[in-house]
DNA sequence: TTGTAGGCGTTATCAG
DNA sequence: CTGATAACGCCTACAA
């Protein structure tokens, strides 16, 4: 491990001068800089992140906090996608990532403790019980935080547009002729509330009377609970013609249950997922679902977090809403209705596979402006 | 951030004494220890990993190097499973993990540079082009390394039992009556060679003459290339009755191609995957495949790596072989043969869904002994 | 423009 | 048993 001291010896300058040259200090001879840089490169020098961190209090490490109710960890396909995109962007900006957990060495360490212990410059939080006191403690600390799909007043959040998405989804199903629409939703979170609210409002606007027995609670990413709810729905006297599920993964429990009942999809019953994970498009029949843009969600979370870290004075926390896209698969049957066949217009980006730059302007405010400016400028 | 100095002030002992008390030093009054520990806990003290690392050269950070040919990142379901299990075990042992890449801040940093930069105590390497000079450089450094599914003389490797697994798979297919067995394999790696070798040997033992046109090269985790190979196989005059694929993910390309040709699975053609990822069991028909035990692979990689780090003198690098399990799905048709109907006995663990403790003894040597001893002892 | 000196929080050595 | 002191590699006033 070659250090600054080694370089300093080799080229005759003091370690202070070397340090300045390496970090692009202003008050230093250009010629000297070049020389030192050459020697450093020749010796294969790389800074020691640990030593630098001790001095500067900046580790260039971002914490990632993710714990879902089913403890899927990295096996959670939706989260893995978001995280991967987060990671790629973070690395591009010069940061590594560290998973935050409470299980390090089995010591009773809170999330905040772990962050301090590792000196995370910032933390992204996703898919967790946001009412957990440990999470609250972390959010209220002075570490920059970005949350995904949950809003805290104090910090930036990246939000999938759940309201619009559920509206699109319900409208899509409605346009296919469905009126008896059931909704199996996940556990009580702000996301669930938004989806439920949007479900009610959209139905109401479309003139559908929502039956309370069509609403069932399950758990996200848990096929078993969705399967159970499905069984209950199938047992109803007046059973729904279409069921919306919490996500593409838990819908598997529903499919199993429907098959077990001897029904076929979509002939006997239509189903709709959520997330648009890869799995949803390799199932047969291909799932009708809502694709959340994990690419943008992750990337933007990283970009915002780094922005907040590097510009603590001028950074303004904000809510960034990322639109989703209905993917019209093969699991919603076209029903022939006696009367009303009016087709309702729906969201502009619907049916489009990819979000292009245009659709990004759907985002609230000009959240992306800075981001794209940064990318174009090729910051380093 | 409360430091040792704060504690030292508060309870009147020097920082040296406090440090010793905190780290369980030997030559120190038990009463003093208790007192200091109390005060520390009261003040909510947690050590600063960065400062400690600078002094001790131990970061309690494990590097993870994973780059597959299709750049799937964390979206690679098989690897995600291994990694998740690796992560859980690492955390249990007091380590965090850091992803190693070459893209940090877009500086030209080799893998080894990144490891040094972050001061990784050890590195696990998986699913990468092991002939990459950067990888070789890393392996030849003095950082403890554990590789997954590749053997370097100098370091421990955790190996899925490819030879036995392919033998089991081919025998299974043979027992179902198949004689015209094609094999689409991944790019040239040591794993591929083992699988190919085992394929040839098993066929030979079973009296099958392997047609060279039945062997096709594709790329792991790349549905497109497997699709292409499938198309070629289907176009053969004497087409195979069963195709083995590189993995469960790339088999999707094969399925698409088979459907496109108007053939049905398994009626017209049988197919077999590899890995046993979750996806394979939610497809319809359910895939016949080989389940690799990602749980054990990841856990053991972490356990071995930490062992190597913490006992540099006594640690002996070794190869640990983890058995796989044939999962009999619905994609291999039972053929009725005119003559020979002898059923060959196959691997003991075949058809079992879960590896239980007994089957662990299949592992080469007593690799697990230390591991389980450690777990039972509840080390901390 | 360059160099000196001190300190970030921790641990290790060695003397008291 | 306890404490003073130095050092890990780097950065940064401040002095030269």
C1’ D13 / CA A301, Å: 36
Q: Cα dihedral angle (A59, A65, A71, A72), rounded to 10 degrees? A: -70
- What pLDDT band is residue B174 in, cutting at 50, 70 and 90? very high
* B327 found inside a domain: no
Q: Is the pLDDT of residue A103 over 90?
A: no
H/E segment holding residue B64: strand B61-66
C-beta atoms of A96 and B88 within 8 A: no
Which residues in chain A are contacts of B279 at CB distance < 8 A? 279, 282
Nearest to B376 by CA among B303, B324, B313, B274: B303
pLDDT at B359: 30
Task: Please check the confidence at residue A354 and state whether its pLDDT lies above 60.
Answer: no
DSSP A31-78: HHHHHHHHHHHHHT----HHHHHHHHS---EEEEEE--TT--GGG-HH
Contact A87 B80 (CB under 8 A): no
Who among A59, A75, A109 is closest to B84 (CB)?
Answer: A75
Q: How far is the CA of A334 from the C1' of D6 (A)?
A: 80
Chain A residue at shortest CA distance from B255: A282
Give the pLDDT mean for B13-34. 91
**pLDDT confidence of residue A344:** 61
pLDDT of A108? 76
Question: Which structural domain range is residue A186 located in?
Answer: 162-292
Whichever domain contains B253, its CATH number is 3.40.50.2300
Protein residue closest via CA to C1' of C6: A55
Tokens coding A23: 């970090």
* Amino acid A350: pLDDT: 36
Contact call for residues B74 and A83 (beta carbons, < 8 A) = yes
**End-to-end CA separation in angstroms for chain B:** 25
| A177, A76: one domain | no
Same domain, A221 and A140: no
Protein residue at shortest CA distance from C1' of D5: B16
Q: Is the CB of A343 under 7 A from strand D?
A: no
- pLDDT tens for residues A213-270? 999 999 999 999 999 999 999 999 999 999 999 999 999 999 999 999 999 999 999 9
Backbone angles phi, psi at A97, to 5 degrees: -120, 150
- The reply to whether B104 falls in a domain is yes
- Is residue B218 located within the same domain as residue B281? yes
Cross-chain residue pair B74–A87, CB shorter than 8 Å: yes
CA A307, C1' D3: Å apart? 45
Check CB contact under 8 Å for A105 and B380: yes
CATH code (residue B37): 1.10.260.40
* Mean pLDDT rounded to a whole number for chain A: 88
Instruction: Classify residue B288: in a domain, yes or no.
Output: yes
Residues A108 and A137 in one domain: yes
Partner residue opposite B84 with nearest CB, options A74, A92, A106: A74
Number of domains in chain A: 4
pLDDT tens digits for range B55-108 = 999 999 999 999 988 888 898 999 999 999 999 999 999 999 999 998 877 677
Residues whose CB falls within 8 Å of the CB of residue B115, separated by 6 or more in sequence, listed in order:
B63, B100, B123, B138, B141, B143
Q: Which residue is nearest to nucleotide D10 (CA to C1')?
A: A52
CB B275 within 8 A of CB B292: yes
Q: How close A135 comes to chain B (CA, Å)?
A: 17
Instruction: Judge if B141 and B197 occupy the same domain.
Output: no
- pLDDT tens profile B184-220: 999 999 999 999 999 999 999 999 999 999 999 999 9
Query: Which residues in B lie closer than 8 A to residue A37 (C-beta atoms)?
Result: none
Residue B333 domain-assigned (yes or no): no
Asked if residue A52 belongs to a domain, the reply is no
Rounded Cα–Cα distance for residues A150 and A168 (Å) = 21
pLDDT digits (tens, 9 = 90+) for A159-191: 999 999 999 999 999 999 999 999 999 999 999
Do both A207 and A256 map to the same domain? Answer: yes
B98 vs A96: CB contact, 8 Å cut-off?
A: yes
Spatial CB neighbours of A67, under 8 Å, sequence gap ≥ 6: A101, A127, A128, A129
User: Which residues in B lie closer than 8 A to residue A101 (C-beta atoms)?
Assistant: 91
Residue with minimal CA–C1' distance to D8 is B55
pLDDT at res. A362: 30
CB contacts, 8 Å: A80 with chain B: 74-75, 80
For A277-317, the pLDDT digits (tens) are 999 998 889 999 999 999 999 999 999 999 999 999 999 99
For residues A283 and A170, state if they share a domain.
yes
Q: Looking at the structure, tell me whether residues A128 and A178 fall in a common domain.
A: no
The per-residue pLDDT for B345 is 57
CA A88 – C1' C10 distance (Å)? Answer: 33
- What's the confidence (pLDDT) of residue A343? 62
The answer to whether position B40 is within a domain reads yes
Percent of chain A residues past pLDDT 70, beyond the cut: 88
Residues A91 and A42 in one domain: no
Residues paired with residue A244 on neighbouring β-strands, in sequence order: A183, A272
Q: What is the pLDDT of residue B250?
A: 96
Place A70 in a pLDDT band, splitting at 50, 70 and 90.
confident
CA B186 to chain centre: 16
Asked, for residue B364, whether it belongs to a domain, the answer is: yes
CB B229 within 8 A of CB B218: yes
Q: Which of residues B35 and A105 earns the better pLDDT score?
A: B35
B156-160 vs B181-185, strand pairing mode: unpaired
Residue A297 host element (H or E): helix A294-310
- Asked if strand D comes closer than 7 Å to A1 Cβ, the answer is yes
List the single protein residue with the shortest CA to C1' distance from C2: A17
B90 domain residue, yes or no? yes
Domain shared by A20 and A108, yes or no: no
Give SS3 for B36: helix
Same domain, A24 and A111: no
Q: List the beta strands (DSSP E) in chain A.
A: 61-66, 96-99, 122-126, 145-148, 156-160, 181-185, 215-217, 242-244, 270-272, 289-291, 319-322, 325-327
- Indicate yes or no: CB of A74 within 8 angstroms of CB of B74: yes
Residue B166 sits in the same domain as residue B272: yes
Distance from CA of A75 to the nearest CA of B (A): 6
Residue A274 CA to residue A188 CA, distance in Å, equals: 16
Q: For residue A93, which residues of chain B lie inside 8 Å, CB to CB? A: 105
pLDDT of residue A129: 86
pLDDT of A375 reads 29
Q: Which residues of B touch A284 (CB under 8 A)?
A: 283-284
């Amino acid at each position: 491990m070659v250090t600054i001291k080694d370089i300093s010896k080799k080229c005759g300058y003091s370690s202070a001068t070397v340090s300045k040259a390496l970090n692009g200090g202003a008050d230093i001879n250009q010629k000297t800089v070049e020389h030192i840089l050459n020697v450093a490169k020749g010796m294969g020098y790389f800074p020691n992140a640990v030593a630098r961190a001790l001095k500067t209090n900046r580790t260039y490490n971002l914490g990632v906090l993710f714990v879902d109710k089913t403890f899927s960890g990295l096996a959670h396909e939706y989260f893995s996608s978001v995280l991967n995109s987060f990671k790629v962007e973070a690395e591009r900006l010069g940061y590594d990532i560290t998973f935050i957990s409470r299980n390090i060495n089995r010591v009773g360490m809170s999330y905040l403790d772990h962050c301090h212990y590792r000196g995370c410059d910032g933390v992204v939080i996703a898919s967790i019980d946001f009412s957990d006191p440990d999470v609250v403690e972390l959010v209220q600390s002075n570490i920059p935080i970005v949350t995904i799909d949950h809003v805290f007043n104090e910090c930036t959040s990246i939000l999938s547009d759940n309201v619009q998405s559920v509206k699109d989804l319900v409208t899509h199903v409605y346009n296919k002729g469905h009126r008896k629409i059931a909704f199996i939703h996940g556990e009580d979170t702000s996301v669930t509330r938004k989806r439920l609210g949007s479900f009610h409002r959209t139905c109401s606007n479309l003139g559908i009377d929502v039956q309370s027995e069509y609403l069932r609670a399950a758990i996200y990413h848990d096929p078993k609970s969705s399967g159970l709810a499905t069984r209950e729905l199938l047992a109803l006297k007046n059973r729904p013609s279409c069921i919306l599920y919490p996500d593409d993964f838990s819908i598997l429990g529903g499919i199993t249950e429907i098959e077990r009942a001897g029904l076929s999809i979509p002939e006997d019953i239509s189903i709709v997922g959520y997330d648009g994970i890869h799995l949803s498009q390799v199932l047969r029949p291909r799932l009708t679902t809502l694709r959340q843009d994990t690419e943008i969600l992750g990337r933007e979370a990283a970009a915002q977090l780094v922005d907040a870290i590097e510009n603590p004075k001028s950074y303004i926390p904000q809510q960034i809403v990322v639109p989703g896209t209905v993917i019209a698969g093969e699991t919603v049957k076209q029903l022939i209705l006696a009367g009303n066949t009016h087709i309702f217009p729906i969201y502009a980006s619907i049916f489009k596979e990819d979000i292009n730059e245009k659709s990004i302007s759907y985002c609230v405010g000009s959240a992306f402006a800075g981001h794209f400016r940064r990318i174009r400028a090729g910051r380093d």
